[in-house]
Amino acid sequence: MNKKELIHAVAERAELTKVEAGVVLNEFLDAITKALVAGKKIALVGFGQFSVTDVPKRQGRNPRTGKKMVIAARKKPVFKAGKGLKDAVS
């Protein structure tokens, strides 16, 4: 399912127009993004948890040249599925 299909599904189930559902979905995603940028965790009970983890720098190799290189440290967004989501999928 892509974003357009998700907006359509939300619009039907919530009895909203597609434009209204699109605004709601975009605001939801924006709120999650802003919270993660600020270093906060987002916990949606029964669904899952969004957080940011630090990935340390490490040694790697350029696949084109085979030359060793250092891959810089970075932050990575992570989603951990909650029990309700896991049970629904199983």
- What is the mean pLDDT of each successive set of 10 residues along the chain, which is 90 residues long? 96 95 96 96 95 96 94 96 94
What pLDDT is attached to residue 43?
97
Query: Are the beta carbons of 45 and 82 closer than 8 angstroms?
Result: yes
What pLDDT is attached to residue 23?
96
Determine the Cα angle at 54 with ends 72 and 24, to 5°: 115
What pLDDT is attached to residue 28?
96
Domain ranges of the chain: 1-39, 41-90
User: 41-90 in CATH: which number?
Assistant: 4.10.520.10
Which stretches of 1-90 are assigned E, i.e. beta strand? 42-44, 48-55, 58-61, 68-71, 74-81
Q: What is the pTM of this model?
A: 0.79
For 50, half-sphere exposure in the C-beta direction (CA atoms, 13 angstrom radius) is: 15
